[in-house]
Amino acid sequence: MSSERPLALVTGASRGIGAAGATALAPTHDLLLGGRDAAALSQIAGRLGGRALPWPVDLTDPAALAAATERIDELDVLVHSAGVGVLGTVDELSADVWRQQFEVNVVAVAELTRLLLPALRAARGTVVCLNSGAGLAARPGWGAYAASKFAQRAFADSLRAEEPSLRVCSVHPGRVDTDMQRAVVAHEGGSYDPARYLRPESVAAAVLAAVGASPDAHVTEVVVRPMG
């Protein structure tokens, strides 16, 4: 994309918080919409108009990721919204489940950032990691997911210290009305009431606050909880 507007790449942009974050950034940024569902990304891009392009890639495929990033030479905003969450006790979850969550929630985040560091440095950009309340406190049955989110927070903290020209923010929302939340509630055996949870748009507002902070400000961490 060639434009005077800043460029933002949002992963997990086909639904939920990622789609809401892309929508919040659309008035001021050109957008690359990351995800694996090309059809869904095209729908979001069409809704956002000509300033958004689908960027379909499997974040866990290193070769595909390298190919997808090689032409991005300047990037103002990178929002890591893609993630997976599988709940279960230590006794219940296999090593493969632990690996899957770390592969998506940590390794893919680190590798995509690494590949885009030259582009981010060129723009003195902002990196936002959509973390979780589970990245601040672990609960029974949340061990694997929480461990991956604790690791993601450590990654963001290290990146912030290593790259003084960048702004790096971890956003820790409470429970959000998403497909993942529906799966969590089903796992817990509860009934689903969307009114009990944050709207994706409310989390997107926190992302926008971090991205739009004044030049003298560095928003390093945002915690957002549902009211009530």
Structure confidence at residue 52 (pLDDT): 96
Position 126 in a domain: yes
145 is catalytic: yes
Percent of the chain with pLDDT over 70: 99
In CATH, what number is assigned to the domain containing residue 37? Answer: 3.40.50.720
User: How many CB atoms within 10 Å of residue 51?
Assistant: 17
Is residue 170, in this structure, part of any structural domain at all? yes
User: Is residue 196 scored above 90 in pLDDT?
Assistant: no
> Does 157 fall in a domain?
yes
Residue 148: inside a domain, yes or no? yes
Return d(Cα 105, Cα 97) in angstroms, integer.
12
pLDDT score of 3: 67
* Total domains present in the chain: 1
The range of the structural domain enclosing residue 51 comes to 7-224
- Asked whether residue 2 is assigned to any structural domain, the reply reads no
Q: Is residue 193 part of a domain?
A: yes
Q: Which one from 145, 150, 155, 197 is the annotated catalytic residue?
A: 145
2 pLDDT band, cuts 50/70/90, is low
Residue 91 lies in a domain: yes
Given this model, what pLDDT does residue 68 score?
Answer: 97
Q: What's the predicted TM-score (pTM) here?
A: 0.94
Q: How many CB atoms within 10 Å of residue 36?
A: 16
Asked if the model's pLDDT at residue 166 lies above 90, the reply is yes
